Structure 1
Amino acid sequence: MFVRTERLTLRRFTHGDAEAFAAYRSDPDVARYQSWDAPVPPDDAIRKVDEFATGDPEAPGWFQYAVDLDGVLIGDLGLNLDENLKQAELGFTLASEYQGQGYATEAVRGLLDHLFVERELHRVSAECDARNTASARLLERVGFQREGLRRSHTWFKGEWTDDLLFGLLRSDYLS
């Protein structure tokens, strides 16, 4: 399964992605607001990438899309499809050296086009640490509406953090 944008391909992970995956997920700046700790050991990266490679993007639960730029893995998008197959939660990660060039925005828009136009999902939601202003701006740039703030809600990496909640309806995205 592929989603193509002007510069990127969103594709299934392959075993050969493990080294690049470990490299960008081992960057402390990339991991700062994410659920894992850096560095990511090579064996863990291999296990994760092999697990991602067997996922089903049409089934409920998390599916991880590899973000590919001319054959180079530069990040990933996670999609948690609800049991009802009509709504999902979105997450994204991009290697530091590719940030600030519009790749994350392009990848997220490409996936949203696929989800809302081809698969006709009703809603996609996302949340981020309130300190992660770059992610919040990206979500707003692609059309998400800020729906809430959960103050001191998540115990994360040794501290309480605020969560920003975002949502995007198919009807709003397509209008």
Structure 2
Amino acid sequence: MLETTSRLVIRRFQPADAAAFAHYRCDPEVARYQSWQAPVSFVDAERLVAEFAAAAEDAPGWFQYAVTLRAGGVLAGDVAVCLHDNRGQAELGFTLARAHQGRGYATEAVRCVLNRVFATGLHRVSAECDARNTASARLLDRLGFEREGHRREHTWIKGEWTDDLLFGLLARNWRG
């Protein structure tokens, strides 16, 4: 499994990705709006990367794509898709190392993954983000997701109640 864009390679995780994965997952700014806590130990990163590498892309549940730069092969982040049991809908998540943010890589990577999953016949992809995460909300808007809701003080995470923004994208509205 390998997809390329003009600047990125989207592929399955490999054991050699563990150190770079741990590095960006240890950054408190990268973890700020995520469900996981920083730091992520190297041992935990090795275990997670091994799980990602062994996962079945077409099975219900989460599948994590590694996002690497074509120039140099550096692991820049990941895009995750959680396929629903009905295999007609999925949830989307994404994380990018701070050093690679603000350059359009996340938009490029998510677009590539959406092209891949919608090509399988998926009907709908949803996403949600912390309402304070304006960069993620803008990315979803750019890709054609519709904002479907705002849940006030819905999630208790990292010691505080947070608002969630809900987004959805139907296959028939995908502009790939």
TM-score range with shorter-chain normalisation? over 0.9
Aligned to 1:60: 60
TM-score (norm 2): 0.96
Q: Distance in 1 between matches of 2:43 and 2:174?
A: 40
1:113 paired with 2:127, answer no
Aligned to 2:19: 19
Identity %: 66
Q: Distance in 2 between matches of 1:61 and 1:3?
A: 21
Aligned to 1:83: 85
Please state how far the C-alpha of 1:174 moved relative to its aligned partner: 4.2
Please state how far the C-alpha of 1:114 moved relative to its aligned partner: 1.2
Q: Distance in 2 between matches of 1:173 and 1:44?
A: 36
Letter paired with 1:164? L
Aligned to 1:97: 99
Please state how far the C-alpha of 1:160 moved relative to its aligned partner: 0.5
Question: Does the 8 Å CA contact 2:9/2:69 hold for their aligned counterparts?
Answer: yes
Aligned to 2:136: 135
Q: Distance in 2 between matches of 1:79 and 1:173?
A: 16
1:90-119, CA deviations, whole angstroms, 9 ceiling, x for partnerless residues? 000000010000000000111111112x21
After superposition, the CA RMSD in angstroms is 1.0
Runs of 4+ in 1 over 2 A off after TM superposition: none
Aligned to 2:123: 122
Letter paired with 1:26? C
Partner secondary structure for residue 80 of structure 1: strand
Please state how far the C-alpha of 1:164 moved relative to its aligned partner: 0.2
Aligned to 1:40: 40
TM-score (norm 1): 0.97
Unaligned runs of 5+ in 2: none
Q: Distance in 2 between matches of 1:115 and 1:59?
A: 12
Aligned length: 174
Please state how far the C-alpha of 1:35 moved relative to its aligned partner: 1.1
Question: Does the 8 Å CA contact 2:144/2:175 hold for their aligned counterparts?
Answer: no
